Amino acid sequence: MDRDYVIIGAGSAGCAMAYRLAEAGKTVTVIEFGGSDAGPFINMPGALSYPMNMPLYDWGLKTEPEPHLGGRVLATPRGKVIGGSSSINGMVYVRGHAKDYDLWAEMGADGWSYADVLPYFKRMETSHGGSGPDWRGSNGPLHVSRGPRDNPLFNAFIEAGRAAGYPVTEDYNGRQQEGFGPMEATIHRGKRWSAASAYLRPALKTGRVAMVRGLARRVVIEDGRAVGVEIDSKAGRQLIRARQEVIIAASSLNSPKLLMLSGFGPEAHLREHGIEVLADRPGVGANLQDHMEIYMQYQASQPVTLYKYWNLFGKAWVGANWLLLNRGPGTSNQFESCGFIRSAAGKEYPDIQYHFLPIAVRYDGKAAAGGHGFQVHVGPMRSKSRGSVTLRSNRPEDAPVIRFNYMSHPEDWVDFRACVRLTREVFAQAPMAQYVKQEIQPGADIQTDAGIDAFIRDHAESAYHPCGTARMGRASDPMAVVDPECRVIGVEGLRLADSSIFPQVTNGNLNGPSIMTGEKAADHILGRQPLPPSNQEPWINPDWRVSQR
């Protein structure tokens, strides 16, 4: 059955668009390759290290050997499940800094300044504990909550930031991002609140949205217009037709791949793979960006960490409490306090982010040596390194070639060294120092630039925030892939809306901005007047020119 719209990808932006289009009375087919998001590994916030390491839920994509990281190959998890990466991520909710969006507008994304996007952030959320109606939403589909901060380490981290001279912010998603404070998460009533929970399931209940399971092979173009999507499903190869438009929302790694397989991309690269060129767009797959981070780990002088649960009995107790009583550590992602600071005087707004965690553990769930410990994930927010996503072959089943080119810009090393030194200073403050026995990693003996650089080269990890591979800009910009209404340049009836279109990576985790992109794109697709711009004035540190804090 033909429907008005076909959306490729039931991820953060795709679910939001399906919901808003259905709300407007339109019919939608959502194509999704991944399976169900049922089960405790996805729904229990405390189990977040599991789904992104499970082939059942993750595409299993990997980078090519990264030349500036000693040739390491890094995992780049993307959700292969209903809800996309919002079903396997760390559930941290960060809108980004107001200046990020003003920069987008300056880069050609007209109508995407902070004043333009704040109303969409408000429309999409129900904020539990934010800074009130001027800044936060109260009746949107996406529930955003705060952890209880029962563990004394959470507040010790915030107070250590204050003692080091940094601001404290009550709501980094409100007027003031800069500073230390409580962290927010897409958790509702003790369970992960993904885009599938917030948007897709309610949309399916309307009867106007249907989900088709299959692998999207290419967008089908007839006479210069997108008319449908060719998929491989259990029923074989078929064409899913759209009466009005096709919308790609398949992630910043798979969306550019799909564009190229459909004939949109750098001409020479498409010809190399025997693909007919419909539009020579060199920006497709270019401009790949991400956040990198290191885990600075400390041994605890007191047994106050989550390590006491890090055994078979402890995990069973946490799981049973969550499953039967909906309480205990399993109801939280354990990222309950955070910080956003500037690395140097002259930086107008924060460029370093902290996620604090009351256990020393790797993202794959392996505990660090030394028993009781804690860690902070820290990294620069605005790396100047750029990479690319290209085709491995013209076969849709094959993973794309992913080259982030991490740490290829010399300023990234300067910024990362600042992360290490500023963090050590925070942990030396009295509120935190009382809990520190010793530094596990990098280790107190690593002090020189060369020593810190070697640690970064060996241990820096992706924060899993890839974006930018189908950049939004003015139609006259040769490197832009979509215009400010998310229309793919060079074809009719085709849009793209997900983190691919970000001109530059935002300050913080990308799930919130990705959902906002789907929300705003839905109004463009429906031909509506965008929501009226906000006139709220975000806080910028008045001493930013002369002071680092």
Residues annotated catalytic, as ranges: 465
CA distance 72 to 247: 35
Q: What single-letter amino acid sits at 250?
A: A
CA 508 to each of CA 13, 132, 437, 490: distance values in angstroms, whole numbers, following the listed order = 17, 21, 30, 32
What are the counts of helices (DSSP H) followed by strands (DSSP E) for the chain? 14, 23
Query: Rounded to 5, what percent of the chain is helix, strand, coil?
Result: 30, 25, 45
CA distance 333 to 48: 7
DSSP class of residue 39 equals S
Whether 378 and 293 have beta carbons less than 8 Å apart is answered as yes
* Residue 58: alpha-carbon gap to chain centroid: 15
Q: For helices 410-427 and 152-163, what crossing angle results, to 10°?
A: 110
**Omega prior to 442 cis, within 30 of 0:** yes
Whether 359 and 299 have beta carbons less than 8 Å apart is answered as no
* Residue 63: alpha-carbon gap to chain centroid: 17
Whether 162 and 180 have beta carbons less than 8 Å apart is answered as yes
Single out the residue of 244, 292, 189 nearest to residue 487, CA to CA.
244
Single out the residue of 534, 525, 491, 540 nearest to residue 23, CA to CA.
525
Q: For helices 449-459 and 410-427, what crossing angle results, to 10°?
A: 100
